Chains A and B, each alone.
Chain A
């Protein structure tokens, strides 16, 4: 398969993640859409690493995986603490910072 097939696959998955962030209001599903976006970029990294015959793409995927894991930990802890104080996690209701 040519390189552009993998890059188009990555673009489609990234766009599905973007649509998920735009239209869903449950922050857990917004988080899952962000993880989908990160995975789409991982796919393009690995595809370019294969087609340029270098290991740097796979190395960056390794680092992106680690950063994504750390981000999920902190983000989920944040969501749980919001739920504990407000008993509601709908992002449209999170408006107390609005001036």
Chain B
């Protein structure tokens, strides 16, 4: 049992528990806090997979910006929603949802067990990630790829952010 195996098992159990907590809590604020914990455990997964920049960006953007937005809206709308979850309009909804979820995870896991090979296929060319990381460092290797190969998608995401900002302004405007 290497340290990597132990940490993977601990992170897997913890992130599954907090993910189930997201969908199981009655109070929406508890769900939001549980989702923040899930993001943190996923960032630790990314650290284990040697993706340092993505781990930090995950914590900064997801737990730091997106969940803050969520908590604003949840606390603004939460006061009269706690009683609404007690009665189900469709009585068999939860059972069918659970069964369909089990079918989905069984289908995905079946494909994984029969389709993929379990050993890493390392591409040891001059442009591979591990050689760039060994030469420049982890974040610099990501930055070199971002500004050389992915420059156009990067600029398009800035356009996307402007469009989303305009959308939020239009929706948030008082129409009186």
The answer to whether A binds B is yes
User: Which of under 10, 10 to 19, 20 to 34, or 35 or more describes the interface residues of A?
Assistant: 35 or more
> Quick one: closest A residue to B98, CB to CB?
A19
Contact A1 B161 (CB under 8 A): no
A53 to B130 Cα, complex, angstroms: 6
> Quick one: closest B residue to A67, CB to CB?
B160
Contact B69 A76 (CB under 8 A): yes
A73 to B166 Cα, complex, angstroms: 10
Asked if A35 meets B35 with Cβ closer than 8 Å, knowing A20-B23, A26-B81, A58-B53, the reply is: yes
Asked if A29 meets B28 with Cβ closer than 8 Å, knowing A53-B122, A61-B54, the reply is: yes
Contact B69 A49 (CB under 8 A): no
Contact A55 B129 (CB under 8 A): yes
Contact A23 B94 (CB under 8 A): yes
Add 5 more A-B contacts to A16-B16, A52-B120 (CB < 8 A): A8-B112, A46-B51, A53-B121, A55-B129, A63-B150
Chain B residues with CB under 8 Å of chain A are 4-5, 8, 12, 15-16, 19-20, 22-23, 28, 31-32, 35, 38-39, 42, 45-46, 49-51, 53-54, 57-58, 61-62, 65-66, 69-70, 73-74, 76-77, 81, 84-85, 89, 93-94, 96-98, 100-102, 104-105, 108-109, 112-113, 116, 118-124, 128-130, 132, 141-142, 145-146, 149-150, 153, 157, 160-161, 163-165, 167-168, 171-172
